[in-house]
Structure 1
Amino acid sequence: METLTTPPADRRFAVSLFSRLRTAKGQSNPFPVYAELRSRGAVAPAPWGGYLVTGFDVCDQVVRSREWLEPDARWREQQGDGTRWTAPSSREMSRTLPALNPPEHTWVRRSAGMFDRGSLDAMRGITERFTTRLLDNLAERLHDGEADFNALVAEELPVAVIGHWLGLPTADHPRLRELTHDQVFTQELLPSASQLALSDAATAELRTYFTGLVRERRARPGDDPVSRWISVWDGMESDRDKADEAVYFLSLFVLLAALETTTTLLSTTTLLLLEHSRQWDRLTIQPDLVPAAVEETLRYDPPTHVISRVASRDCELGGVEIRKDEMVHLLIGAAHRDPAKHEDPELFNMHRKPGHLAFSGGIHYCLGAPLARLEATTLLNQLVTRFPRLTLVRRPTWAPRVAFRRLLNLDVTLA
């Protein structure tokens, strides 16, 4: 296939847009930038090579096709030393479930065996109890004036739920949450050297923590997922060290997946509803709309704005020729507001027919999606019932990220 040369003007245009995305204004509201990029077509050149995809149908096509692969360990090694893809944290992530391709992906996903209807029902009660406890704490703080909903509730609920499920000591939760915030930088779109260093250090500490956990559960197995994974992998792998390594990577993946994006979903849902007061008021008298509010949040401002894939062969995508092993970045945050997919896409509308890629699609559809939805609907049901007069005090600030959205605060009060 003939290689197409990207016009310098297109490359400069993309560079200017990403410079704006990196500003505080761009991080708080990246959608005008996405709209400008989408105006250039569904597929556009990325400043650093590869392509950016902003059209919903094209993104949907890629995530559902087995001909588009994850940037796995093999692909990362090919990028050469000194690149972000060969950083220690990136190498480690290349062995977790989201970065695997078949057949390895198939084996690991089947071994996980989590969050079916039965296990989710078992977690429903504990999720409700944790939510009630956290909102009791919020009520105490609001009695004195204002409170940071993000710190008191959104950051706490996911680690409490997944920590309980994995059987992790409560005392470990704060440190695990901090490590997750740092670790995610290696999964960012364009991490800086300092961000990668934070990610490398966090990944090393998480490896020590979870390999120790696996050793402990092997010595003293219990009725918990880690012990069950050890049993499953012992039946799949005769080498005990390799089996333990597989369980370590599963445990690491579950923690990282459960904390960062779910926290953002909880805080963003609350923020958007408080900003759209009529829809908040509607929920307080019509709580059966809570699931719809969560789905619209996932469309309007998903926790993850970028999904990356590489081509398994030379192909054409959205009228653009892509070479084998070239990367495309699916800008999910932009695709969700594609007017070809949704009417009035800039409008936050709980009555909209659901349609989003927040949990990816195809064989890589998020294993934790049912749990994230459970936590979000449980929290929102209690929140609108207990705090119908909840009001936003000020606009929040956002972490310096593009791919993984994260609010740093969400200050609220009672009107």
Structure 2
Amino acid sequence: MTAVDDIGGITIDRRAVISVLRRLRSLEGRTHPQPLWEELRSMGDVVPAPWGGYFVTGFEACSQVLRGRNWLVPDVAWQERQPDPERWQDVATQEMSHTLSRLNASAHTGQRRGLGNLFDRETLEALQPDVEDHVTRLLDALEEGLRARGEADFVTTVSEQLPIRTIGHWLGIAEENYAHILDITHRQVHAQELLPTRSELGVSAAATVQLRAFFTELVRQRRARPGNDVLSGWIQYWDARLPDDRAAADHVLYYLAMFVTIASLETTATLLSVAVWLLLEDPSRWRWLRHHPEHIDDAIDEALRYDPPIHLNTRIAADDTVLAGVPLAKDTVVHILYGAANHDPRRNENPHAFDILRNGSHLTFGGGAHYCLGAALARLEARTLLSHLLKRFPTLTPLTAPTYAPRMVFRRVTSLKVTT
């Protein structure tokens, strides 16, 4: 007998939901998730998850959750209230539960206040020359690879390198540490998947220990030798706020430096890779944008809408509520599906078409108190890269479609071979 749920007058077969989730994890699903998002959304705006909780698929429902004050992130307090709290006790999960992305109310507000407007116009203007320099050097390396071998991997040569160089230089991290940080980040992210396996949690735990060691030492060294960098400024702020508790200040500083760094790496790299792939996939798009560079920002927004770097995020109902006609009790878990929401035809007409001039809507950077801290920086990096890339490589061509890491939450392009 098939297990079913009846919500909002629609009967949903749990086996159908499980089938979609399995296919999303498959090679085909990772490469072309859009039809599967459509299949989930056809089941309703709020779809029961097989293990409890719900998937939220509609644009308006997702927006309501992201922006509503009665929705919380699954913080440590929520984890401790669960009937199986040991599920949340692995090292990597606990570590991420103390970062900004998993803080609610006063704790979140306090840390955000310490950061200020992290990437305001003045900061971005100051960063622009550095980003230009990073892009120039990376495209020099791309050109050298193309000249020597006739092909190059755009991901490993350019799109994974630009974010770590940008954020690393901004925080004053030595360049010889960039590869190490990238490696740790790729391994740590498993703990943030929807249903990580025990072996994946083990990989994440080992990476988390390395992250803690690196960024704890970074804070210690910067405290001993402060400079004009942003981390030195954070140290001054938190020392003044916690003058009698240096250990507490260092605790906050570690989480801020670690989170701001790793949060900006894979997501931005994926945006860069996906944007370039979507433009190169149809050569007419590349040619058109070369002649209409004033629409580069539109192309970036359409890439963000079409294939968001994060496909899923989780929120908790702070009180009994109703979402899209579905009654939800306090502490109910909902999983926001960014891709499904961005492809909701009620918000974006003909959503599966990539249209640079769409001027559509997307939720890719989230909303409300947890709106992405690095959104403006990601746009700056993407805009600068595409501006230079279109000028220097008018005949850039993909050799194969991109390959993707086997994930459901954090999208990662692992390879994109190109030639000219």
The interval holding the TM-score normalised by the smaller chain is over 0.9
The one-letter code matched in structure 2 to 1:134 is L
**Equivalent residue for 1:110, pick from 97, 109, 113:** 113
Q: Could you report, residue by residue, the CA deviation over 1:250-292 in whole angstroms, capped at 9, with x for unpaired residues?
A: 0011111110100000000001101122211111111111111
> For the residues of structure 2 that align with 1:145 and 1:374, how far apart are their CA atoms?
29
What's 2:224 paired with?
219
Q: Could you report, residue by residue, the CA deviation over 1:347-379 in whole angstroms, capped at 9, with x for unpaired residues?
A: 100101131111101111111111000000000
Q: Does 1:176 align with 2:199?
A: no
**Equivalent residue for 1:354, pick from 346, 350, 360:** 360
Give the length in aligned residue pairs: 409
Checking the alignment, whether the CA contact within 8 Å between 2:79 and 2:85 is kept in structure 1 is: no
What's 2:43 paired with?
40
The one-letter code matched in structure 2 to 1:91 is Q
What's 2:196 paired with?
191
Q: Could you report, residue by residue, the CA deviation over 1:162-185 in whole angstroms, capped at 9, with x for unpaired residues?
A: 110011111100010010011111
Shift of residue 81, structure 1, vs aligned partner: 4.2
> For the residues of structure 2 that align with 1:385 and 1:409, how far apart are their CA atoms?
23
Query: Which secondary structure state, in structure 1, belongs to the residue aligned with residue 5 of structure 2?
Result: coil
Q: TM-score, normalised by structure 1?
A: 0.96
Q: Could you report, residue by residue, the CA deviation over 1:301-345 in whole angstroms, capped at 9, with x for unpaired residues?
A: 010011110000111111111111111000001110000001110
> For the residues of structure 1 that align with 2:78 and 2:370, how far apart are their CA atoms?
18
Q: Could you report, residue by residue, the CA deviation over 1:377-398 in whole angstroms, capped at 9, with x for unpaired residues?
A: 0000000111010011011211
What's 1:298 paired with?
304
What's 1:141 paired with?
145
> For the residues of structure 1 that align with 2:81 and 2:269, how far apart are their CA atoms?
34
CA RMSD of superposed structures (Å): 1.2
What's 2:5 paired with?
6
> For the residues of structure 2 that align with 1:318 and 1:338, how far apart are their CA atoms?
14
Checking the alignment, whether the CA contact within 8 Å between 2:153 and 2:415 is kept in structure 1 is: yes
> For the residues of structure 1 that align with 2:19 and 2:370, how far apart are their CA atoms?
32
> For the residues of structure 2 that align with 1:41 and 1:404, how far apart are their CA atoms?
24
Shift of residue 10, structure 1, vs aligned partner: 2.4
Query: Which secondary structure state, in structure 2, belongs to the residue aligned with residue 6 of structure 1?
Result: strand
What's 1:345 paired with?
351
Shift of residue 9, structure 1, vs aligned partner: 5.5
Shift of residue 78, structure 1, vs aligned partner: 2.8
> For the residues of structure 1 that align with 2:174 and 2:366, how far apart are their CA atoms?
31
What's 1:122 paired with?
126
What's 1:380 paired with?
386
Runs of 4+ in 1 over 4 A off after TM superposition: none
Checking the alignment, whether the CA contact within 8 Å between 2:25 and 2:408 is kept in structure 1 is: yes
Q: Does 1:325 align with 2:331?
A: yes
The one-letter code matched in structure 2 to 1:193 is R
> For the residues of structure 2 that align with 1:149 and 1:385, how far apart are their CA atoms?
16
Shift of residue 234, structure 1, vs aligned partner: 1.4
> For the residues of structure 1 that align with 2:73 and 2:93, how far apart are their CA atoms?
13
**Equivalent residue for 2:157, pick from 147, 152, 157:** 152
The one-letter code matched in structure 2 to 1:86 is Q
Query: Which secondary structure state, in structure 2, belongs to the residue aligned with residue 304 of structure 1?
Result: coil
> For the residues of structure 1 that align with 2:266 and 2:401, how far apart are their CA atoms?
21
Q: Does 1:363 align with 2:369?
A: yes
> For the residues of structure 1 that align with 2:34 and 2:287, how far apart are their CA atoms?
26
Query: Which secondary structure state, in structure 1, belongs to the residue aligned with residue 319 of structure 2?
Result: coil
What's 2:53 paired with?
50
Checking the alignment, whether the CA contact within 8 Å between 2:188 and 2:204 is kept in structure 1 is: yes
Checking the alignment, whether the CA contact within 8 Å between 1:10 and 1:45 is kept in structure 2 is: no
Checking the alignment, whether the CA contact within 8 Å between 1:77 and 1:86 is kept in structure 2 is: no
> For the residues of structure 2 that align with 1:284 and 1:297, how far apart are their CA atoms?
16
Shift of residue 211, structure 1, vs aligned partner: 0.7
Checking the alignment, whether the CA contact within 8 Å between 2:348 and 2:360 is kept in structure 1 is: no
Q: 1:355–1:9: structure 2 CA closer, same or farther, 3 Å change rule?
A: closer
Q: Does 1:395 align with 2:401?
A: yes
Q: TM-score, normalised by structure 2?
A: 0.95
Shift of residue 77, structure 1, vs aligned partner: 2.5
Q: Gaps spanning 5+ residues in structure 1: where?
A: none
> For the residues of structure 1 that align with 2:374 and 2:403, how far apart are their CA atoms?
27
**Equivalent residue for 2:241, pick from 236, 239, 261:** 236
Query: Which secondary structure state, in structure 2, belongs to the residue aligned with residue 103 of structure 1?
Result: helix
